[in-house]
Amino acid sequence: MLITKIKLTNYRNHELLELKFNGQSFIIKGPNGIGKSNILEAIHLVSTTKSLRTKYDRDLINHNADVAHIEIVVKDQGSKPQLAFEEELMLSIQKSQTYPNASKKVVKINKVPKALRDFSGKIKSVLFTPDDLDILSGPPSDRRKYIDAIMFQSNESYKSAHLKYTKAIRHRNKILEKIAKTGHGHNLLPVWNEIILLNGEIIQKNRRELFEILGKKAQVYLEELDPQNSRLKINYLENHISEKRLEEYSQKEIYTRSTLVGPHRDDFEVDYNNYNSAFFSSRGQQRTIMLAIKMAEMDHIAQATGIRPILLLDDIFSELDPKHKEAVMNITNLQQTIITTAIDSKNGLEIGAL
């Protein structure tokens, strides 16, 4: 699968940008602040329907507009040349005129409207940026976003369960708020409890399996990158969901007006040589850890789906030593790879073959 064209309209700082790609892999060059990272973010957003860089989707819309559009044309080469076909994927983000931080996503495939669940994962991508170190040391919500981005591209049952679970949590929280305000509505909770129990268990089962897979694969890559310090372990901090725990937390949930039990409160941590890497690893060690995990992510998506994901490298080479640069370059020819790098130039964005 190859991206052959991308068009951004009112997406972040790009009022209108259209790029066409002819080769397997290429590099996007330009000065800092011109929006190179935004191009890769847009591609990954189409892959997962979630941005890893912002809390509110409406922040992705240019300040002078009410809607942003991302259009990507992908070519599936198929097993034989005569089986190749192209698809046009469009994702739009529309500001809400009612609520200040709200927005709505609209997606289309070949100009036909689709549900988000049928759109996410149509193209597979892995995004590697210097900000990925925040996955180790940032808030739990960032780590959940990261895991969801992997699973949305590789596991249909997870994606379906996650969408149902998220919707049910919103409804359940509204009922908890009603109970807190009026004392009425307890009879409405059981139906939503059943939905979050069923789908929450699916989510957590799949997360357990993913952490085991990523941990083993990342360990192999870490041994190649750092042979003398090569112990890595991913610890899943599961906020286990069960009927018993929902009952135990019922009064506290009414008081806080929010659901306190379940995968939306999960977390994970990465141990490096038996110590939590968020607190006891240097920046250089954290880069090595995330590089190993990202390479494991590439392998997992490829093995789970049969499609090698597009590799998006956002100005990472300035952060890596020669050995790690070589490790990354060794896998760039396995799939389409798009790299951004900063240069001093008055010519704006430049695209060249890798």
Q: Which residues are annotated as a binding site for ATP?
A: 30-37
Residue 41 has a CB neighbour count (10 Å cut-off) of 23
Question: What residue spans of 22-112 are helical by DSSP H?
Answer: 36-48
Q: Which residues are annotated as a binding site?
A: 30-37
* Beta strand 125-128 pairing with 310-314: parallel
253 touches 259 (CB < 8 A)? yes
88 touches 64 (CB < 8 A)? no
Residues with Cβ < 8 Å from 313, sequence gap 6 or more? 40, 128, 328, 332, 337, 338, 339, 340
253 touches 215 (CB < 8 A)? no
265 touches 252 (CB < 8 A)? no
Question: What residue spans of 104-188 are helical by DSSP H?
Answer: 116-119, 133-137, 140-154, 156-182
